[in-house]
Chain A
């Protein structure tokens, strides 16, 4: 059916697709001794972190503690000063060829804080960008169908596909950004403050959506957030960034039991208490 050259191409593609096998790893992301430094300012000082496969890990910390820098280091937008970062057993630093690094990049989707949608493309075209990049031989009809169901999956209205980012509301931009991050059915999803700038109802719906998608698609989620309600509603575990390190990782119940002043302030401050009261039971149910 396909001519010989095309079949060779398919075989190569399949061989490359085997290089990374997410389902074989218990630890999706392993960060060891990460140091990030801008001039004299040390952001991370020998930071260690494990993200387990299939969990939603919330990353919290005060402003300027380097949550985004950590994410950028993991996805290779920022070269660390020192330290090792392995995603599914592969490190972007040591990967020699373009093929392998592309294969690794295929495994994750990143949703940036402002959505970072390409402003000259419609929502549907935005979703199709990664698909076209990695699977140039998919035919247009299938691409359109994929875009349509991704739009539906993230809860955008039926007429959102042909719209341009400038025509969308803040919440819709975030959902469209999520749809693009999910375009390749990644195993790993990075979310940078997904609920920032959304109203409480929109934020709650977004939390629900993330939880639902993670369960349906078996995603591992790295979630940076300031939003305590998000933590309670979505996260399996929470990592706390302070003092240039991850000072604690665990369920919220475990974190509440630690003595660290910042963690106590964070969860037991006025906002923290409100969130704890409203979600306390749900969190308790999940941990027990």
Chain B
């Protein structure tokens, strides 16, 4: 059995003579470097009894010889070749990035993040503008709108989302009705549960939950698809062929999410109302006919219009943030994941902020 790397020492007047034995290889090194470092001034490094040596072993020898200004003797032909290859000074080869003190890095990160958020905002606005310009150019040049691409997205953004959005909204309808009924029962006003479910779902919740779901389902998909296309240089290939990526990739996706959002939002509202109706029927003994009649009395047409006005805006938001994030992907695969996350977060955040603005706006014009 071959021996692991070891050495014997021989104390002399002008330093230690070190005689290595066994195999000076990575696998056999063990704690040899540490023991070697613990020695006093070294005079000679004798390699004549070394069975085998690899670059790591040769590096240890080179390093030690340089540190102690020691002489290397008895190196075999193989060892000499390796030692020669490693002889040049490697001290200017860097391995890590420069490290700054903690406080400087924190400040730097804070600054970078602030600038990043601002740039992101400017970027999204700029991207939105570029998209509008591309749309107008496409119309002006009388180029065919890519209906096929848009309709394909209808399938993935809209039709495929129907089951999950329907189920989610149905359950939310039940939850609102149930929680509302518990509170209203204290005043004997259980019947107002219908008002709560009807107005909340048509005006706010149906669409809001839909927008969040579409941002999570499709906004992320847009970002990941486009990001991957950027990485594989498909987007660049498109540009060189003369196809505008804005026209071919971005516009169909944004158009699809814009057109589909009102439909999905309306569908979600209906599902929530059905959910509320089922609970009212079973839990509150309100028959469906009464439920529907009451809904017709209490939901003003303006609620419906408010939803239809908000929906396309949310659709544009989700589409634009998704496509923008995808287009920002550079360098590596990790970036795709990061950008996808930021697409979803930005879309949901912006949707909720805009929804608040809309709420204030609609009340102030008297749509109560």
Interface contacts (Cβ under 8 Å), in number, total 95
Give the interface of B toward A (CB within 8 A).
1-2, 4, 25-31, 33-35, 52, 54-56, 59, 63, 78, 81-82, 85-86, 88, 90, 92-97, 330-334
Besides the contacts A158-B94, A182-B55, what 9 more A-B pairs have beta carbons closer than 8 Å? A14-B27, A17-B28, A120-B333, A139-B34, A147-B95, A149-B59, A149-B90, A151-B93, A158-B92
CA distance A2 to B29 in the complex (A): 14
Q: Are A142 and B33 in contact (CB under 8 A)?
A: yes
- A107 smallest CB distance to B (angstroms): 10
Q: Are B97 and A162 in contact (CB under 8 A)?
A: yes
Q: Are A162 and B82 in contact (CB under 8 A)?
A: no
**Would you call A216 an interface residue if the criterion is a C-beta within 8 Å of the partner chain's C-beta atoms?**
yes
**Would you call A83 an interface residue if the criterion is a C-beta within 8 Å of the partner chain's C-beta atoms?**
no
Q: Are A161 and B54 in contact (CB under 8 A)?
A: no
CA distance A216 to B28 in the complex (A): 20
Interface residues of A in 15-37 (CB under 8 A from B): 17-18, 23
Q: Are A217 and B54 in contact (CB under 8 A)?
A: yes
Q: Which 5 A-B pairs have the closest CB atoms?
A: A119-B332, A166-B331, A185-B54, A148-B93, A17-B27
In this complex, the member of A14, A122, A158, A218 whose beta carbon has the largest number of chain B beta carbons within 10 angstroms is A14
CA distance A2 to B30 in the complex (A): 10
**Would you call A208 an interface residue if the criterion is a C-beta within 8 Å of the partner chain's C-beta atoms?**
no
**Would you call A184 an interface residue if the criterion is a C-beta within 8 Å of the partner chain's C-beta atoms?**
yes
**Would you call A282 an interface residue if the criterion is a C-beta within 8 Å of the partner chain's C-beta atoms?**
no
- B228 smallest CB distance to A (angstroms): 13
- Chain A residue numbers with a CB within 8 Å of B63 are 145
- A35 smallest CB distance to B (angstroms): 33
Chain A window 163-183, contacts with chain B (Cβ cutoff 8 Å), 1 for yes, 0 for no? 011100000000000000010
Q: Which residue of B lies closest to A218 (CB)?
A: B78
What are some 20 contacts across the A-B interface (CB < 8 A)?
A10-B31, A13-B27, A106-B27, A119-B334, A120-B334, A124-B95, A144-B96, A145-B59, A145-B90, A149-B59, A152-B88, A162-B94, A164-B331, A165-B332, A184-B26, A185-B26, A185-B54, A216-B81, A217-B54, A217-B55
**Would you call A153 an interface residue if the criterion is a C-beta within 8 Å of the partner chain's C-beta atoms?**
yes
**Would you call A41 an interface residue if the criterion is a C-beta within 8 Å of the partner chain's C-beta atoms?**
no
CA distance A146 to B26 in the complex (A): 11
Given known pairs A10-B30, A216-B81, the reply for A164 and B93 (CB within 8 Å) is no
CA distance A135 to B30 in the complex (A): 10
Q: Are B95 and A144 in contact (CB under 8 A)?
A: yes
Q: Are A1 and B35 in contact (CB under 8 A)?
A: yes
**Would you call A215 an interface residue if the criterion is a C-beta within 8 Å of the partner chain's C-beta atoms?**
yes
- Chain B residue numbers with a CB within 8 Å of A184 are 26
- Chain B residue numbers with a CB within 8 Å of A217 are 54-55, 82
Q: Which residue of B lies closest to A165 (CB)?
A: B332
For chain A, the bracket of interface size reads: 35 or more
Q: Which residue of B lies closest to A147 (CB)?
A: B95
- Chain A residue numbers with a CB within 8 Å of B96 are 122, 124, 144, 161-162
Q: Which residue of A lies closest to B53 (CB)?
A: A185
- Chain A residue numbers with a CB within 8 Å of B332 are 119-120, 164-166
CA distance A120 to B90 in the complex (A): 25
- A216 smallest CB distance to B (angstroms): 5
**Would you call A4 an interface residue if the criterion is a C-beta within 8 Å of the partner chain's C-beta atoms?**
no
Summarize A's interface: helix, strand, loop or mixed: helix
CA distance A185 to B4 in the complex (A): 17
Given known pairs A159-B94, A217-B82, the reply for A119 and B333 (CB within 8 Å) is yes
From the candidates B27, B52, B56, B88, name the one contacting A23 in the complex (CB within 8 A). B52
CA distance A145 to B60 in the complex (A): 10
CA distance A182 to B1 in the complex (A): 26
- Chain B residue numbers with a CB within 8 Å of A138 are 29
Q: Are A149 and B27 in contact (CB under 8 A)?
A: no
CA distance A215 to B85 in the complex (A): 11
CA distance A182 to B86 in the complex (A): 14
CA distance A151 to B143 in the complex (A): 53
Q: Are A146 and B81 in contact (CB under 8 A)?
A: no
Q: Are A1 and B86 in contact (CB under 8 A)?
A: no
CA distance A108 to B334 in the complex (A): 28
CA distance A124 to B27 in the complex (A): 20
From the candidates B59, B82, B88, name the one contacting A146 in the complex (CB within 8 A). B59
CA distance A280 to B56 in the complex (A): 37
CA distance A10 to B59 in the complex (A): 21
Q: Are B28 and A162 in contact (CB under 8 A)?
A: no
- Chain A residue numbers with a CB within 8 Å of B4 are 10, 14
- A218 smallest CB distance to B (angstroms): 7
- Chain B residue numbers with a CB within 8 Å of A161 are 93-96
CA distance A149 to B89 in the complex (A): 9
- Chain A residue numbers with a CB within 8 Å of B1 are 18
- Chain A residue numbers with a CB within 8 Å of B92 are 158
- A166 smallest CB distance to B (angstroms): 4
CA distance A55 to B107 in the complex (A): 56
- Chain A residue numbers with a CB within 8 Å of B30 are 10, 14
- Chain A residue numbers with a CB within 8 Å of B334 are 119-120
From the candidates A2, A162, A218, name the one contacting B95 in the complex (CB within 8 A). A162
- Chain B residue numbers with a CB within 8 Å of A146 are 56, 59
- Chain A residue numbers with a CB within 8 Å of B2 are 18
- B340 smallest CB distance to A (angstroms): 16
- Chain B residue numbers with a CB within 8 Å of A164 are 331-332
- Chain B residue numbers with a CB within 8 Å of A153 are 55, 85-86
Given known pairs A149-B55, A149-B90, A185-B56, the reply for A216 and B95 (CB within 8 Å) is no
Q: Which residue of B lies closest to A117 (CB)?
A: B332
